[in-house]
Copies of this chain bind each other. A is one copy, B any other.
Amino acid sequence: MADVAERAGVSRALVSIVFRDQPGASRETRERVLRVADEIGYRPDNAARLLARGRSRTLGVMFTAHQTFHADLLEGIYGEAERLGYEVLLSATAPGRGEAKAVESLLGHRCEAVIMLGTGAETAELDALGRRTVAVAVGRRVSGARVDSVHTAESKGIRQAMDHLVELGHRRVVHIDGGKGPGSAERRRAYRAAMRRHGLGDEARVIPGDHTEQSGIEAGRLFLAERDSGLPLPTAVLAGNDRCAMGLLMALTRAGVEVPRDLSVVGYDDSHLSHLMPIGLTTVRQDALLMAEYAVRFAVERLDDPDSAPREAVLDPKLVVRGTSGPPPADG
């Protein structure tokens, strides 16, 4: 910076003004400074900038590497953040790298806020984080913590899916649980409620799982083992999310169970994956773009007014009927 100033024949302060696009420099000086900077390859140093300014205008985003829905969200986050003049830093959770680590990394790099995609953290942990910094949880309902949240009305989505299945004639509808995954508790509850509402309370069955393909595969194996020992297959399965649904589909199809003839499958997320099955996945769409926008806006607005009450955006999901759902088999 000093070099630039000297070469351009101005003070360092003026160079600073030029690079911050602030008024107080004439048109020609501005151009001269920029030209000189370009010549000697000067680029303002972020660390020093942050230090001097006190604010980083950077949002940290924690996500899970293999969660395809997160990739959808990321795109939206980048867009909205740019529009509002914020930078985005990413930190992934992965096997061997827990949420705490990912968040520490973000905070260590001076993010002013942390947006957590699909966190599985306890309310108390979230609250602690929310008190230490600005935090937004996406894809999960949070109550009693100093954290904004953006999620879809899980119950509505599940209800739509259940109505769809029951209308097709299904009765033995099983739910594969999402474990501690975001939204799981609500989905489970909504599933139970819907079953009751349709007079199928006795048929309700929840299989523990999580939001990975693996848990879908395991559930599939379980069903097959049950069938082999004489029990009937469910006629429809409501998976915890699309990845789980994909795993289930794979396990079933490999074993010769035909979807949706023998069994219907419904996912949740409408992630990229959903279009890609040979027969499209019937699923519940969450509007990733809109969720991303809300998340960023919540973070930014709370930065401007840190003491406002935690907010919650609840978006309406929408059932997308594709090829994996159909009438139950005649003997079902």
Task: Name A residues whose Cβ lies closer than 8 Å to a Cβ of B.
Answer: 41, 43, 45-48, 50-51, 56, 58, 65-66, 68, 71-72, 74-75, 78-79, 82, 87-92, 94-97, 105, 107-110, 132, 213, 246-247, 249-250, 253-254, 272, 275-279
Contacts and interface: CB of A to CB of B under 8 A. Distances in A.
A105 B88 contact: yes
A77 to B, nearest CB: 9
Given A247-B276, A249-B278, A276-B213, A65 B71 contact: yes
Given A92-B74, A110-B46, A110-B47, A105 B79 contact: no
A45 B247 CA distance: 43
Contact of A79 (B58, B96, B250, B276): B96
A108 B19 CA distance: 14
Contacts of A92: 71, 74, 78, 90
B109 A97 contact: no
Nearest to A91: B90
Counting every copy of the chain, the complex holds: 2
Given A46-B47, A47-B56, A213-B276, 15 more contacts: A43-B107, A48-B51, A51-B51, A65-B72, A66-B68, A66-B272, A68-B68, A75-B94, A78-B96, A79-B96, A79-B97, A87-B105, A90-B90, A250-B276, A253-B278
A46 B91 contact: no
Contacts of A65: 71-72, 74-75
Contacts of A68: 66, 68
Given A47-B51, A51-B47, A92-B90, A66 B71 contact: yes
Contacts of A45: 51, 110
A283 to B, nearest CB: 15
Which 8 A-B pairs give the minimum distances between C-beta atoms?
A253-B278, A90-B90, A65-B71, A47-B50, A75-B94, A47-B51, A47-B47, A46-B108
A134 to B, nearest CB: 15
Contacts of A58: 109
Nearest to A41: B132
Which has the most chain B C-beta neighbours within 10 Å: A68, A72, A247? Answer: A68
A94 B74 contact: yes
Contacts of A249: 278
Nearest to A246: B276
Contacts of A272: 66, 213
